[in-house]
Structure 1
Amino acid sequence: MPPSERTPLVGGNGNNRQSGDGLPMHRPESYPNARQHGDHHGPSFVGSLWWLVSCSWLNVLLVFVPLGIAAEFLHWPAVWIFVLNFMAIIPLAKLLGDATEQASLKLGQTLGGLLNATFGNAVELIVGIVALVQGQLRIVQTSLIGSILSNILLVLGMSFVAGGLFRAENSFQQTAAQASGSIMTLGCITIAIPAAYQMSQKMSQMFDGGEAALAAYRDSKDTEAGLLFISRGTSLILVAIYILYLFFQLKTHAFLYEADEEDDEEEEELKMTPYAAMLGLAVVTVVTGFNADYLVSAIDEVANDYKIPKAFIGVILLPIVGNMAEHLTSVWMAAKGKMEISIGIAVGSSIQISVGMIPILVLVGWAIGQPLTLFFQSFETVVLVAAVLLVNTLIQDGKSNYMEGAMLCSLYLVAALSFWVEPEQS
């Protein structure tokens, strides 16, 4: 099997440009204080940190980080708090991806893959935990659904379009794509089942007792208890499946995804020391937590003052910001003909969210007394099922073109229009 057909799809972080052996593929830019005594010398600690903050033009947006924090403490209008912290999340997401990429390089494929799985969607996880602690359960749910939709429709669609502009047809590893599509379908089904349960309970009450029984159902605690039971039990199973999926791909069946050792070896250039990378991860994660906290706390007031549906903020705006860096990376890799990497970014990230992050947040909510469930509103569930169905249909043949990308993007735009007018539901 050619090396280009064995790129693993587990890495969801857009900045983890993977080489054929499943490890991140690094850019050839130079960095200060590195290799100044010969090729056998690696980067210095200070040079590592300098590279992290100067490796991308996107990092100029770091100026919004202190501005966003200052806006909160100086009690600026909610719209300024929201916008400034909204902008601050973009470069922080990029820094998280770069630091993860560098930290995983020295850990080997197995530990590196686990680190990528942990930090690949760090921004979404931080926003989710902050909203969960604040009791913003709808923001948690809509932001997670939005992350899945933006990855498999917008990111994958734009990648297909970018790749199709330079060549009539792009090919990628069909078996790996089918396996990833199946795992993604499993996550989608586990979200649809609680919605089906809730609908069946509602219809049963309506047919058995009419409007009076239906009104009593709305106040009933039995259905809520049933949803919590299903969601928490399902979450435990999904976390186990996700761990097994990582073990399968990184350990027992790693040979299915590994390329020859010499492939891309020269491109795997260390830009940061492991200690500097881990310090960068820790600092950026903490700072992101503060900006995310202020961002989420301003959502209600901004939504009310400017008549912006909270569903639109959660499903469309927050995921685009959190995934900005990987959006750009996926499209750039597709334009260069590296469609396996683009598939890994889009589909792999969606798998992490649907089978890993969503059930983990349900369990975290259980631990802190927040009744988060896998029950999403019927409209969101239908959109998610439609998106997964379309993506699976398009990736089954292991080929892509710009027309398929246009179809994915069009469905995302239709979803965005629909969420703009979706009524708020309790």
Structure 2
Amino acid sequence: MYKIFLLMIAVGLPLSILGNFLHWPVVMMFIIFSLTIVALAGYMGRATESIAIHTGPRIGGLINATFGNAVELIIAFFALKAGLITVVLASLTGSVLGNLLLVMGLSFFVGGLKFKRQKFNVFDARHNSGLLVFAVLVAFVIPEVFAQEMGARDTFTFSVGISVILILLYLAALFFKLVTHRGVYQSDHAEGAGHDEEVAEWSKGKAILILLLATLAVAYVSESLVHTFEEVGEAFGWSELFIGVIVVAIVGNAAEHASAIIMAYKNKMDIAVEIAVGSTLQIAMFVAPVLVLVSIFFPTQMPLVFTLPELIAMVTAVLLAIVISNDGETNWFEGATILAAYLIMGIGFFFL
């Protein structure tokens, strides 16, 4: 897979630069930019994994949490800078739906085709369930409810306060998981399993260099990608909401999606579920609040207020994920059920 990514980068990056200078057709450039970002995201994930092995599980976990959604954060930053608030909020919605429904659904389905019954850490599942309920049902729904009785300035100030609380709780959750309660809650299948010592693919210096270069390349291509949204939407009949919820979310998460599915196929369900749910928590409790705080310095501020379809879709995704994952085991039919929910929501956002 990574050889394909390397080829995509070797071809896509020069074409991205050349196409910008020569002003190639916007739709063609949108496709080139998207594929290049997918490939760069794959190498960012690969470099992050090597750094995490070199630095140990605690610091490595923090690095993974920080860079896990770097691509989505970069794309959203430039969209925010361009004043595309609808696209930014929709991309956050899309990341939540994509991780909880598309990634988890495909992981359960693909893994379930090979193994009739797959297990994962039930304690982690229940812990993450509480955070998902807080992040989406409390921190996302409450601003929408209170915004009905507030002015625009008060709504944004309220969103800033919520964002600070979310980031603090997210950092506390990392500290709880990686420091104070690391290894305390283990499932039966994890306790009896042997653990092979991981060997880093790259040296720490090489991994850091690749991560920095890939991040810079993603920043350049992402800024160009954002400027294609309006014309691409008109060409394909896509709304800003659909571009954010489906297109941007899939482009930003593609490499991560592939990793989760591969882990599920290898029956490493703890990792697959952690990628899906952990990434959702990063989006809801870190990426979204950071974007709200960053918007303070832009002409157009972004309150943490989603549309009603976005909120209902996210709440439904959280409740479905909790109901299916809280028993610590899964099968292909549960994966198919989750995927069906994603398809229904995707069709709905297309027609909005």
Distance (whole Å) between structure 1 residues aligned to residue 332 and residue 2 of structure 2: 31
Amino acid at match of 1:56: K
Query: How many pairs align?
Result: 346
Letter in 2 for 1:184: L
The one-letter code sitting in structure 2 at the alignment partner of 1:60 is L
Give 2:73's aligned residue: 125
Kept after mapping to 2: 8 A contact 1:184/1:355:
no
Q: Deviations over 1:117-175 (max 9, x none)?
A: 11111110110111111111111111111011011001100111112112222111111
| Residues 49-86 of structure 1: CA deviation (Å, up to 9, x unaligned) | xxxxx943332211112212221121112212211101
Between Structure 1 and Structure 2, the one with more helix by share is: 2
The residue that corresponds to 2:226 in the other structure is: 296
Give the counterpart letter for 1:256 in structure 2: V
- 1:307 is displaced (CA, Å) by 1.7
Contact in 2 for aligned 1:249/1:257 (Cα 8 Å): no
1:412 to 342, 347, 350: 342
Contact 2:123 2:185 in 1 (8 A): no
Q: Is the 8 A contact 1:69 1:290 kept in 2?
A: no
Give TM-score, length-normalised by structure 1: 0.78
Match of 2:145 in 1: 196
Residues 1:239 and 2:188 aligned together: no
Q: Give the conservation status (yes or no) of the 8 Å contact 1:65–1:88.
A: yes
Shift of 1:335: 1.7
- In the alignment, the residues of structure 2 paired with residue 55 and residue 150 of structure 1 have an alpha-carbon distance, to the nearest angstrom, of 22
Amino acid at match of 2:117: E
Paired position in structure 2 for 1:28: none
Distance in 1 (alpha carbons) for counterparts of 2:298 and 2:194: 47
The ranges of structure 1 where at least 4 consecutive aligned residues each deviate by more than 3 angstroms after the TM superposition are: 257-260, 262-266, 367-370
Which whole-Å CA distance do the structure 1 matches of 2:195 and 2:74 have between them? Answer: 33
Length-normalised TM-score, structure 2? 0.94
Alignment of 1:86-101 (within 5 A): 86-101=34-49
Listed one character per residue, the Cα deviations across residues 252-271 of structure 1 (whole Å, up to 9, x for unaligned) are: 111326878x94334x1122
Closer/same/farther in 2, CA of residues 112 and 165 from structure 1, 3 Å limit: same
Please report how far the alpha carbon of residue 186 of structure 1 lies from its aligned counterpart in structure 2 after TM superposition: 1.0
Aligned in 2, Cα 1:170/1:296: closer, same or farther, shift over 3 Å? same
SS in 2 for 1:375: coil
- Percent identity between the aligned chains? 37
**CA distance in 2: counterparts of 1:69 and 1:192, whole angstroms:** 41
Return the letter of the residue paired with 1:197.
Answer: F
Match of 2:183 among 240, 251, 255: 255
Q: Could you say which residue in structure 1 is the equivalent of 2:195?
A: 264
**Distance in 2 (alpha carbons) for counterparts of 1:124 and 1:384:** 17
1:184 equivalenced with 2:114 (yes/no)? no
Question: Which residue number corresponds to residue 280 of structure 1?
Answer: 210
RMSD of the alignment, in Å?
Answer: 1.7
Rounded to whole Å, the distance in 2 between the matches of 1:96 and 1:105 is 14
